[in-house]
Amino acid sequence: MRFAYQILIHTPLWVWPLLFYLVWRGIKAMQPRTTRMSRSLIVPAIFIVWGASRLVSRSHDSAWPLVSWIAAALVMALVGFGTAKPFDLDQATGQITRPGSVIPLIRNLTVFALQYAVAVIAAIDPDGHSIATVIGRAVSGATTGYFLGGTVAMLRQYWRQRRTGENSASLEAREGR
């Protein structure tokens, strides 16, 4: 119990508003919503920066943390790109409409918990001489890769629809999905 208390009191204050924001965005995503593309990029940007920040946080004697970060980022970039959900684009306003889903809330909480655990491990083992450091870097790389891949897919779809004037249903039908 004392260990958990120490973790909580040493958690930076900015973490709690971030958690609140991610939960709030996840709950809002449960309902269909129309928004600007720039607003849709806020959560991915948070996780991309958070995941990439582990690369510059500490130096290591071994290359394995960097290798694990890069490998996880590459694999999860493909996953993020391949699992991006389609949306409808209003050509007049440039706004996108996304269907409601519980997945963003689950994803936000899962990634937050993993990144929080990585930060706790890094604080406990500041020299990073453990397998947890390699795993932590892999989690951070996976986070960055997943959200970067999803962002690229989303922007690709957005610009493609802007250019062609089509919506996601007609694009999917044409691609045989």
User: What was the pLDDT predicted at 174?
Assistant: 58
The ranges assigned to domains in the chain are 2-175
pLDDT digits (tens, 9 = 90+) for 109-133: 999 998 898 888 878 877 666 777 7
Residue 175 in this model has a pLDDT that exceeds 80: no
With cut-offs at 50, 70 and 90, classify the pLDDT of residue 168: low
DSSP string, 116-172: HHHHHHHHHSTT--SHHHHHHHHHHHHHHHHHHHHHHHHHHHHHHHHHH---HHHHH
Predicted TM-score (pTM) of this structure: 0.81
pLDDT at 66 exceeding the cut of 90: no
pLDDT in tens, 135-158: 888 998 999 999 999 999 999 999
Question: d(Cα 68, Cα 85) in Å, to the nearest integer?
Answer: 27
73 within 8 A of 142, measured Cβ to Cβ = yes
Contacts 24+ apart (CB under 8 A), 16-20: 18/46, 18/112, 19/112
| The Cα angle at residue 91 between residues 85 and 97, in degrees rounded to 5 | 35
